[in-house]
């Protein structure tokens, strides 16, 4: 039978470091507040590249790591909340940037849960035999959508991109490698706790239905920054994170304590500490890099996956869970045997 394995990983983070102390220049905050409430010490901000170029660099490293050429890629699926263009998709730009001439490319929108969503979709294509090698990538230019005068939110986010190659692998059930289980879900919510308002206009702003006057595009700039009720989002996360870990491990016929690594979306160090505490885990099993990059939205999971892979942390047969969550409320998890 065909299974999907992660054959390569890659990442890109910008050089420019925005430290906690630098925020003092624009908002009333402190390194002490940010560190104790979030675990973040610094984040990166891209000053030259487009988002698709950051993602393209992460994809090139993932291809190198997999030992594949761009022409061998059948599909590119990107998750991003900050595309360079509304269309074509960011994935189409990435395809052109890396020279993946044989691929079909598209984006998905699932906010910070984006990487587990693209992984889930790619897994289905590989297992059905419709694709052999798929690039899954997440890249986020959070500086475009962070309001640097909103101290509740702007200190959380940073820019970066991560990628992985998912490849078809023939294996029998007893020695199955790769994605053992994966699932994604969205919780019904009024979508008022975390969102970015679109810049497009309401119909009534363009055409007055009473006077029948066509007004054209009003010269008005809408707020298109991240709006978040941090406390409500936090409560949602600590409720669903154990649920999704229990669910995905049970689908893989293992338990959470069997996992060698749990790679959780890096939104707040307190959330990661909560997982360690809840399952009484060795902290080494729940790696953290939020202090260096902040919350890079859907890119945190593939960036951390790549850092661990590059540090040769994974041994053949290791059981690894990936878990993401965010606006929507969208969430999902996967279990991989390395
Ligand atoms: C955002 C978050 C760090 C805030 O931490 P918190 O402990 O909930 O803090 P609160 O929002 O209750 O704010 C506490 C106080 O600190 C203040 N504060 C907020 N941001 C501040 C900052 N950057 N510097 C200093 N003080 C700040 C608040 O104004 C508030 O002051 P008040 O008590 O006088 O009103 C936390 O809620 C969080 O991480 N939520 C989850 C976010 C998340 O995971 N989002 C992504 C999902 S993808």
Residue 217: its pLDDT value, please?
64
pTM greater than the 0.85 cutoff: yes
Dist. CA 303 → ligand 1 center (Å)? 25
Identify the bridge partners of residue 194 per DSSP, sorted by sequence position. 228
Distance CA(264)–CA(332), nearest Å, equals 10
Nearest atom of ligand 1 to the alpha carbon of 326: 48
Tell me what the mean pLDDT of segment 301-325 comes to. 98
Q: What's the CATH architecture for 1-338?
A: 3-Layer(aba) Sandwich (3.40)
Identify how many contiguous H helices and E strands the chain contains and give both numbers: 9, 15
Of all protein residues, whose CA lies closest to atom 35 belonging to ligand 1? Answer: 152
User: Does residue 33's CB lie within 6 angstroms of at least one atom of ligand 1?
Assistant: yes
Q: What pLDDT is stored for residue 187 in this prediction?
A: 92
Which residue's CA is the nearest one to ligand 1's atom 24?
A: 29
Q: Where are the domains of the chain?
A: 1-338
**Cα 54 to averaged position of ligand 1 atoms, centre (Å):** 29
Q: Is the pLDDT of residue 175 over 80?
A: no
The average pLDDT across 32-39 equals 98
Tell me the pLDDT tens digit for each residue of 176-217. 899 999 999 999 778 889 998 876 666 677 777 788 787 776
Task: Give the residue, out of 19, 142, 152, with the most ligand 1 atoms within 8 A of its beta carbon, to mutate for a pocket test.
Answer: 152
pLDDT above 80 (res 245): yes
Sequence-ordered strand ranges (E) for the chain: 2-12, 17-19, 42-44, 75-79, 104-108, 133-140, 160-170, 178-186, 194-196, 207-208, 213-214, 226-228, 261-264, 319-326, 330-337
Lowest mean pLDDT among 105-114, 120-129, 187-196, 319-328: 187-196
For ligand 1, say whether the CB of 155 is within 6 Å of any of its atoms.
Answer: yes
Q: What is the pLDDT of residue 199?
A: 67
Nearest CA to ligand 1 atom 47: 326
Q: What per-residue confidence (pLDDT) applies to 209?
A: 77
Beta-ladder partners of 335: 181, 321
pLDDT over 70 (residue 174): no
Catalytic residue check, 295: yes
Q: Which of 42-46, 101-105, 196-200, 238-242 has the lowest mean pLDDT?
A: 196-200
Taking the centre of ligand 1 as the mean of its atom positions, its distance from the CA of residue 152, in whole angstroms, is: 5
Nearest CA to ligand 1 atom 23: 151
């Amino acid at each position: 039978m065909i299974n999907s394995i992660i054959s390569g990983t890659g990442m890109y983070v910008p050089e420019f470091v925005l430290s906690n102390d630098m925020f003092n220049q624009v908002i009333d905050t402190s390194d002490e507040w940010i560190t104790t409430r979030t675990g973040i010490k610094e984040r990166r901000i891209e000053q030259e590249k487009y988002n698709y170029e950051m993602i393209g660099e992460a994809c090139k490293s993932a291809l190198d790591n997999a030992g594949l050429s761009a022409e061998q890629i059948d599909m590119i699926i990107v998750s991003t909340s900050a595309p360079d263009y509304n269309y074509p998709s960011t994935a189409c730009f990435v395809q052109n940037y890396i020279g993946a001439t044989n691929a079909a490319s598209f984006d998905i929108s699932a906010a910070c849960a984006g990487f587990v969503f693209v992984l889930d979709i790619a897994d289905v294509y590989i297992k059905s035999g419709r694709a052999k090698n798929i690039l899954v990538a997440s890249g986020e230019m959070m500086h475009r959508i962070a309001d640097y005068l909103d101290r509740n939110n702007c200190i959380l986010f940073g820019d970066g991109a991560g990628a992985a190659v998912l490849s078809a692998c023939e294996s029998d059930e007893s020695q199955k490698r790769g994605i053992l289980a994966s699932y994604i879900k969205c919780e019904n919510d009024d979508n008022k706790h975390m969102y970015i308002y679109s810049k497009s206009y309401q119909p009534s702003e363009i055409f007055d239905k009473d006077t029948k006057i066509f007004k054209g595009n009003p010269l008005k700039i809408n707020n298109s920054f991240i709006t978040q009720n941090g406390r409500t989002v936090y409560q949602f996360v600590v409720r669903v994170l154990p649920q999704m870990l229990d669910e995905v491990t049970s689908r893989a016929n293992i338990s959470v304590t069997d996992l060698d690594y749990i790679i959780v979306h890096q939104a707040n160090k307190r959330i990661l500490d909560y997982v360690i505490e809840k399952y009484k885990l060795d902290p080494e099993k729940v790696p953290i890099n939020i202090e260096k990059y902040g919350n890079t939205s859907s890119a945190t999971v593939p960036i951390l996956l790549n850092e661990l892979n590059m540090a040769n942390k994974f041994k053949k047969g290791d059981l690894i869970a990936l878990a993401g969550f965010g606006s929507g409320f969208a969430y999902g998890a996967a279990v991989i045997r390395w």
